[in-house]
Amino acid sequence: MSTPGLIFNDPRYPDFVERYHADPLRFAVEVCGLVPSEDQEELFNEIAPANAKVSVVSGTSTGKTAAFARIALWHLSCHPIASYEGKIEIGSNTYIGAPRISQVADGIWKEMNDAYLGIAYGPHSWINDYYEITKTRVYVKRFEEQWFISQVAMQKGQAIGVAGKHRYQTPLCWLITVGWVPRLIN
C-alpha cells in the first residue's frame, strides 16, 4: 500500500471537516456507523461546543468507552487547524487517561479499532488512509508529532502528566473507575 499524500490535499477533506467539525453525533453515526444510545447522544451533543467541559458519571456498560473513542477520532479527524492569538497550530492533541494504562488500551483502543472497521465499510472509508492506530498512539500520517491521540496514566495521589502538552481546544478524556475521581487544578 502506498503512503497517502497530505490529508490537506485530498479534495474530499474540506467538505468532510465542514460537515462534521461541530457535530460529533453526526460523525459517530454517519462516519463510524454507530447507533448511539440516548446517553451517548447526550454526551456527543454536550461535547460539541468549543471549550466544552463535560463530566460523565455512570455505571458500567453504559457506552462511555465507545463514545469516548469516537469523540477522540472525531476531534482527530475534524479539527485540523487552530488559529488563535496570532498563532496557527496544525493538528489536534487528545489525551485519554485512566488509573491504569491498560484500561485505556483495553477499552478505548479496542473501541477505536472497532470504529476504524465501521469507517472502512462506510461512505468515508478514505479517511482511514490518513491516520494510524498503534498500541499507544493514534496519529495523522505525516503529522505524527503534532496531530495525535495519546494515553496517559492517572494514578491516585500522583500528578496528572499532561502539563505543558496541551494545545488550543485539546480535549482531555478521563476514563474513571468507580470510587476514584481525579483532582484537577486549573
Render pLDDT for 62-73 as a digit per residue (tens, 0 to 9).
888 899 999 999
In whole angstroms, give the CA distance from residue 85 to residue 160.
Answer: 27
* pLDDT for res 170: 55
* pLDDT for res 71: 93
* pLDDT for res 167: 57
* pLDDT for res 164: 55
| CA-CA-CA-CA dihedral for 47, 113, 141, 83, to nearest 10 | 0
**DSSP reduced 3-state for 95:** strand
* pLDDT for res 184: 39
Residues 18, 77 contacting (CB under 8 angstroms): no
In a domain? residue 151: yes
CA proximity to 34, closest of 58, 68, 76, 66: 66
Q: How many domains is the chain built from? A: 1
Q: Which residues of the chain are under the pLDDT cut of 50?
A: 1, 176-186
In a domain? residue 25: yes
68 φ, ψ (degrees, to nearest 5)? -60, -40
In a domain? residue 186: no
In a domain? residue 162: yes
In a domain? residue 182: no
In whole angstroms, give the CA distance from residue 114 to residue 6.
Answer: 24
* pLDDT for res 166: 55
Domain that holds residue 165: 8-174
CA proximity to 91, closest of 163, 6, 33, 23: 6
* pLDDT for res 183: 39
In a domain? residue 158: yes
Q: Is the dihedral of CA 99, 184, 168, 42 positive or negative?
A: positive
* pLDDT for res 180: 36
Q: Which residue has the cell 466544552?
A: 52
Residues 70, 23 contacting (CB under 8 angstroms): no
